[in-house]
Amino acid sequence: MPLPHAAEARFFYQAAKQRLEDAVFLLEVDRTTGAVYLAGYAVECMLKALLLNQCPPPRRKEFNESFRGAKAHDLAWHKARYLEVGGPSFPSGISKAFSFVSTWEVSFRYRSGSIRLTDAKAFIEAVRIITRWAEERM
C-alpha cells in the first residue's frame, strides 16, 4: 500500500503498521495482554492517520496538536473527528469490528495477567479488518 498523501499522516500510518506487527509477534508467543494493547494502539494510530489524511491541509496542524491528553487515546473521539472532516461513514462490517475494538483502553498497558487467547485472536482479527479498510482510504 502507498503511504498517505498527507505528510502529517505518514508518521501515524507507519506507527500503526509497526504496532500491529508487534502485536502479532506477541500473540504468537502467547503474550496476549501486550498483543491486545499494541493492536488497540495500532487502531488509534491508524485513525489519526485517516483523520490527518482526510482533513483540509490548513487544519492538519490543529488536528495533530489535538492528539494530547486522555482524548488522544479515545477511539470513538478519533472516529467522530474523522467523520467531522468529511470522512465516509464506516461500512457495517467495519462498524462491527470497531464496536469490538472500542472496548480497548490505554490502561491495558498496566494490566497484569493474560487475556484469553481466543479473545486476543478475535481482537487482533478485528484490528486487521479495520486497518485493511483504512489503508484503502489513504
**Count of structural domains within the chain:** 1
Q: What is the pTM of this model?
A: 0.89
Query: Quick check: 47 and 85 in contact, CB under 8 A?
Result: no
In a domain, 1, yes or no: no
Give tens-digit pLDDT for 59-77. Answer: 888 777 777 777 778 889 9
Helix (H) or strand (E) holding 84: helix 75-84
Question: Which residues, 6 or more positions from 134, have their beta carbon under 8 angstroms from its beta carbon?
Answer: 16, 46, 47, 49, 50
Q: What are phi and psi of 117, to 5 degrees?
A: -55, -45
CATH code for position 130: 1.20.120.330
In a domain, 2, yes or no: no
In a domain, 112, yes or no: yes
In a domain, 23, yes or no: yes
Give tens-digit pLDDT for 100-137. Answer: 999 887 777 778 889 999 999 999 999 999 999 999 98
Domain that holds residue 29: 7-135
In a domain, 35, yes or no: yes
Give tens-digit pLDDT for 82-94. Answer: 898 888 899 999 9
